[in-house]
């Protein structure tokens, strides 16, 4: 069977467990040499352990794949630089960066502390920026030296960020930022032979298990397809990491179970133009009419709840 990432060198952050683990293993199965980055922290970002990353490396090696473990903090700028260098020094280059690491500090906005806000923004948003900044510089330097890149950055957004979920203003803001970061980086890095995309996964992980219990999601039977398995996201990431995806950039994909959709970003909807300055007193009916004509915001499943109509 063809391995679509044969010979590629990939970094996956947050790869010790859950969705990131699935990415690392699938990339290795598809022929990539993988740097498995993970701090081994708890869901809230506290603590650390080298165990999870090393366990994934051993699993990859068990089926003949190549991988190394890396414990750098990707939200630390210098640490992120060392992560990129680890791939280049160990495997001779870098083709793919998968920014996946994340934590949760869920709280309603009226109760959220500044520490809970900062911790989530740091790991998700800064932790996506730092490795990307170093990888982009590496590929830019190669391009300026006359080398040809066929490189990929794959970020991790979330339905919480692009559609909105109560109790996650910090997490959602970070994930929405990553979606915008993806679109802008795609515009900036295309000249260097780099595509930039993102996935918004739907899966059962340590970070979503409380949500799953709240929604009373039934577990599949032993012979049934587990639509909530975190491993279901990996095939899309592996394809985006491959040379086949060179024509796709600046996109965010919803991925859950066997379902894939393109998340459509903010765009201008109904419009009115007076051609001169508005008086605030006249805007009531104008804005109410615009809102009435615009589709409702999408729900957490990404679908727009169109109102029912009767004939």
pLDDT in tens, 38-70: 987 455 445 444 689 999 999 999 999 999 999
Q: Select from 48, 55, 101 the least CA-distant residue to 75.
A: 101
Question: What whole-number distance in Å separates Cα of residue 36 and Cα of residue 193?
Answer: 24
Q: Can you give the pLDDT at residue 33?
A: 98
- Measured in degrees and rounded to the nearest 5, phi and psi for residue 240 equal -60, -30
At 196-245, the pLDDT tens digits run: 999 999 977 545 455 444 455 566 767 787 888 999 999 999 999 999 99
Instruction: State residue 224's pLDDT score.
Output: 81
The tens digit of pLDDT for each residue in 94-144 reads 999 999 999 999 999 999 999 999 999 999 999 999 999 999 999 999 999
Is the pLDDT score of 301 beyond 50?
yes
What pLDDT score was predicted for residue 218?
Answer: 60
Dist. CA 210–CA 306, nearest whole Å: 29
Calculate the alpha carbon distances from 187 to 119, 160, 205, 236 in Å. 29, 24, 32, 21
Q: How many residues does the chain have?
A: 311
Q: Does residue 175 have an active-site annotation?
A: yes
pLDDT at 222: 77
Q: pLDDT value at position 51?
A: 85
Active site residue 293: no
**What would the mean pLDDT of 241-257 be, rounded to a whole number?**
97
Q: For residue 203, what pLDDT is reported?
A: 73
Exposed, middle or buried, 108 (CB in 10 Å: 0-12/13-18/19+)? exposed
Q: Which CATH architecture has domain 9-263?
A: 3-Layer(aba) Sandwich (3.40)
> Hey, where are the domains in the chain?
9-263
Which of 175, 192, 242, 245 is catalytic? The answer is 175
Which residue of the set 75, 138, 157, 158 is catalytic? 158
The pLDDT assigned to 50 comes to 62
Q: What pLDDT score does 132 carry?
A: 98
- pTM attached to this predicted model: 0.90
Given a cut of 60, whether residue 13 has pLDDT beyond it is: yes
The fraction of the chain above a pLDDT of 70, given in percent, is 90
Active site includes 192? no
């Amino acid at each position: 069977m063809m391995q679509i990432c044969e010979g590629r060198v990939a970094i996956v952050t947050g790869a010790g467990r859950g969705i990131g683990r699935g990415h690392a293993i699938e990339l290795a199965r598809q022929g990539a040499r993988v740097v498995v980055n993970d701090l081994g922290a708890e869901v809230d970002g506290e603590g650390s352990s080298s165990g999870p990353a090393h366990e994934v490396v051993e699993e990859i090696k068990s089926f003949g794949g190549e991988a190394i473990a890396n414990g750098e903090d990707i939200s630390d700028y210098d640490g992120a630089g060392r992560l990129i260098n680890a791939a280049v020094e160990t495997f001779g280059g870098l083709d793919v960066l998968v920014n996946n690491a994340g934590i949760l500090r869920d709280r309603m906005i009226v109760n959220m502390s500044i520490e809970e806000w900062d911790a989530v923004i740091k790991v998700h948003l800064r932790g996506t920026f730092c490795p990307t900044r170093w990888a982009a510089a590496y590929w830019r330097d190669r391009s300026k030296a006359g080398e040809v890149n066929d490189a990929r950055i794959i970020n991790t957004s979330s339905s919480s960020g692009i559609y909105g979920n109560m109790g996650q203003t910090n997490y959602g803001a970070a994930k929405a930022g990553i979606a915008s970061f993806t679109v802008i980086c795609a515009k900036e890095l295309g000249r260097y032979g780099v595509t930039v995309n993102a996935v918004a996964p739907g899966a059962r992980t340590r970070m979503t298990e409380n949500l799953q219990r709240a929604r009373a999601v039934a577990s599949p039977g032993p012979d049934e397809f587990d639509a909530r398995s975190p491993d279901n996201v990996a095939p899309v990431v592996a394809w985006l990491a491959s040379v086949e995806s060179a024509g796709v950039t600046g996109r965010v994909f919803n991925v859950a179970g066997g379902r894939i959709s393109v998340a459509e970003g903010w765009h201008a909807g109904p419009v009115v133009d007076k051609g001169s300055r508005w008086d605030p007193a006249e805007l009531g009916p104008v804005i109410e009419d615009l809102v009435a004509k615009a589709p409702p915001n999408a729900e957490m499943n990404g679908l727009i709840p169109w109102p029912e109509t009767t004939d």
